[in-house]
Amino acid sequence: MAVTAAVIVTVAAACVAALDRPVRIDFYRVVDSRTIEVGAGTGPTLWTRVVSVQETPTQVEVGVNAAAKPGVGTAGQTTLATVHLSIDLGDRIVFDALTGYEVADCTHASTPSSPPICVEALANARLIPIR
């Protein structure tokens, strides 16, 4: 019986791992001096998480992965993932580990000068507890 349960758990883990993929970060917003939330267009997922945070004196590089639900598209849903920094964000630039591009700062998304991605993405965002 224990062997059967172990096999089922192993197969389930392998299936989730097969659906796991890096996802692009669309924006970030500052929560406090050492905490940011990154928004990733994941669509409906089984599991979304921050997989890497690399900090230097001038930048923060964040990587996010998501395991997609089989047969479901990825459009229309943004997941907010919380990132805890070791030192204050300050003037550092946030980069997406997948693309290597700078991520849009949507901290003040209600202002007229906000990047268009902020207004749309924040309207569809759901916060999930990611450490």
Domain assignment present for residue 97? The answer is yes
Q: Considering its fold, how many domains does the chain have in total?
A: 1
Residue 9 lies inside a defined structural domain of this protein = no
Question: Could you read off the pLDDT of 57-116 as tens digits, one per residue?
Answer: 999 999 999 887 666 555 557 788 899 999 999 999 999 999 999 998 888 776 555 566
Please, what is the Cα angle at 30 between 29 and 35, to 5 degrees?
A: 120
Q: Would residue 10 count as lying in a domain?
A: no
Q: What is the pLDDT of residue 131?
A: 40
| Residue 96 maps to a domain | yes
Bridge pairing between strands 25-32 and 104-105: parallel
pLDDT of residue 85: 97
Position 4 scores a pLDDT of 73
Domain membership of residue 5 (yes or no) is no
CB 103 within 8 A of CB 117: no
Q: What's 87's DSSP letter? A: S
pLDDT in tens, 11-55: 555 555 566 889 889 889 999 999 999 988 766 666 788 999 999
The pTM assigned to this predicted structure is 0.73
